[in-house]
A = this chain, B = another copy of it.
Amino acid sequence: MKKVTVIKIGGNIIDNPTELEQFLTDFSKIEGYKVVVHGGGKSATKMAQSIGLVPQMIEGRRITDAPMLDVAVMIYAGQINKYIVAQLQAKDNNAIGFSGADGNLIQSEKRNHPTIDYGFVGDVKQVNTILLATLLQSGIVPVFCAITHDKKGQLLNTNADTIASELAIALAEVFDVTLTYCFEKQGVLLDSEDDTSVITEINEALYAKLKAEEVIHSGMIPKLDNCFNSLSRGVQKIKIGHHRMLQSPDVLHTTIIL
């Protein structure tokens, strides 16, 4: 079974040109099939502010009204996505940038929440695995932004972590998939103040225990829930850590197993 590396990068890399350049250099050297999923960083918020929109958040999720969706599409699918594609092309990776609308690669449905109107936010329904596998087999390096569509003409803002895990799950039908989340820390920490307290391996039992003890809390919970969901649905291996871990297997990081 061919291997695929799916890597999600967040705002801390997107917002820092030096970090982004280093990540793209390291990523471009990864052998074999690979996919990158990028979040948005601060530039969508900045752009929204500069044109007079007031960003709203509920439970850590951006409320996406129509003007905010426009900004997200511009910045994520336009500015950031094409910048990354151009840099990877310069590093001889044959990158193509995609939203979920392109090739109907990621179809979602508008979130229907009983009490909160999230606006134009989509939850992933279906990945076009056949087209994605064909692209990888043709030597293409897909670069995904966190915009999807409902196949009825509506673009939708979608959580980038979820996109990475849904792509990994879909690809696991065909390939041996490693999913890597790059973020600002070295991994899942026992003490959020101590960067060296990385938990090198975590399984469901340890996760349940650490969650009960509130050692693991807030933003890390949806991230890890995503991870265990992906593992139970066929993804082989998940890693969380700083993108420096792409440079050497010796760099401290967390591996998540069932």
Contact = CB atoms under 8 A, between A and B. Distances in A.
A166 B100 CA distance: 28
A16 interface: no
Given A51-B50, A134-B138, A85 B97 contact: no
B97 A153 contact: no
Interface in A29-76: 47, 50-51, 70, 73-76
Given A90-B153, A94-B104, A151-B90, A99 B73 contact: no
A81 B90 CA distance: 23
A102 B94 CA distance: 8
A232 interface: no
Contacts of A76: 78
A10 to B, nearest CB: 20
B153 A89 contact: yes
Contacts of A134: 138
Contacts of A140: 103
A153 to B, nearest CB: 4
Given A82-B102, A95-B102, A97-B102, 18 more contacts: A73-B82, A74-B74, A74-B79, A77-B77, A77-B81, A77-B82, A78-B78, A78-B82, A82-B99, A83-B155, A85-B102, A86-B153, A86-B154, A90-B153, A94-B103, A94-B104, A96-B96, A97-B101
Given A51-B50, A51-B51, A134-B138, A86 B74 contact: no
Protomer copies: 2
A144 interface: no
Contacts of A138: 134
Contacts of A96: 96, 98, 102-103
Contacts of A151: 89-90
A81 B134 CA distance: 23
A50 B76 CA distance: 19
Contacts of A81: 77-78
A127 to B, nearest CB: 14
